[in-house]
Amino acid sequence: MNAAIRPELVPATPAAENHEVRATVVRERRRRRSRLALGLTTTMAAVLLTGAVVTGALSVTGTGTCEGDGAEEVCVRRTWWPFTIQQRSEQWTLAGVADGPRAEWHRNGAPWFTGEYVAGKRTGPWREYWDNGVVRFSGTYVDDRIAGREEWFFADGTLEWTVERRDGQRQGLERWYWPNGVLRREGRYDTGEKHGTFTTYSDDGRPAQVVEYDNGLQRPR
């Protein structure tokens, strides 16, 4: 059996070296964020607790902390709901540009939005929630545009609308649903334009209307 290859014996390549540099930068940013989050959380917890005891309710419109300078300045800004100790939002930035986690909360403490920015652009999974904790919106961003499936839900968690996207445009099958789960409308898009048959249904499932489209234009009946 061959012995395991020791990492230090593997020849370095420019691609590997660049990857290591990027990984080091990412690790450093995360380290700074963790340290800032811990320090700011501890400080604000003490301030909010003191204010709540003294006044009965404390309102903090916004506060922020930064570490580093110039192009590597990492900051976090947090806001609170007026006259409460409930946090409302949190945004990380790098050199003044949104870069890192973004989160918002409802007044009752339930999550409202969650997602992440990279160099000012939404990237990866984003979610919006009803104030009862149920997901309201779900989508994945690439370069600040939704790519793949976009979904919206009613407050009880029932699917309301879903569509596929490519480069931010509707592409493929779109479906709407009634609150009782019955299909409400369906049809297809091609590069953002309605194309083909669109059928609308009543809430008992019976077809109510059928319309034909050709690259966004309704065909005459």
pLDDT tens track for 166-181: 988 999 999 999 999 9
| 200's tokens | 């609308």
Supply 140's token pair.
């994945």
Mean pLDDT in residue range 19-27: 55
Q: Is the residue at 4 inside a domain?
A: no
- Quick one: 21 and 84 in the same domain? yes
Is 162 in the same domain as 122? no
The separation between the first and the last C-alpha atoms of the chain, rounded to the nearest angstrom, is 74
pLDDT tens column, 196-217: 999 999 999 999 999 999 989 9
Partners of 103 in the beta sheet? 90, 114
More confident residue, 80 or 58: 80
Whether residue 2 lies inside any domain: the answer is: no
- Structural domain total, the chain: 2
State residue 28's pLDDT score.
Answer: 64
How much is the pLDDT for 26?
58
Residues 77 and 121 in one domain: yes
Residue 13 sits at the vertex; the CA angle it makes with 143 and 31, to the nearest 5 degrees, is 55
What residue numbers bound the domain in which 57 lies? Answer: 13-134
Helices marked H in the chain — which ranges?
14-55
> What average pLDDT does the segment 32-48 reach?
56
Query: Which one is predicted more confidently, 91 or 168?
Result: 91
215 within a domain of the structure (yes/no): yes
**What pLDDT score does 51 carry?**
42
Question: 108 and 159 share a domain?
Answer: no
- Assess if residue 7 is contained within a domain: no
Output the average pLDDT for the chain: 81
Please give the Cα distance from 73 to 94 (Å, whole number).
6
- Quick one: pLDDT band at residue 103, thresholds 50, 70, 90? very high
Domain assignment present for residue 6? The answer is: no
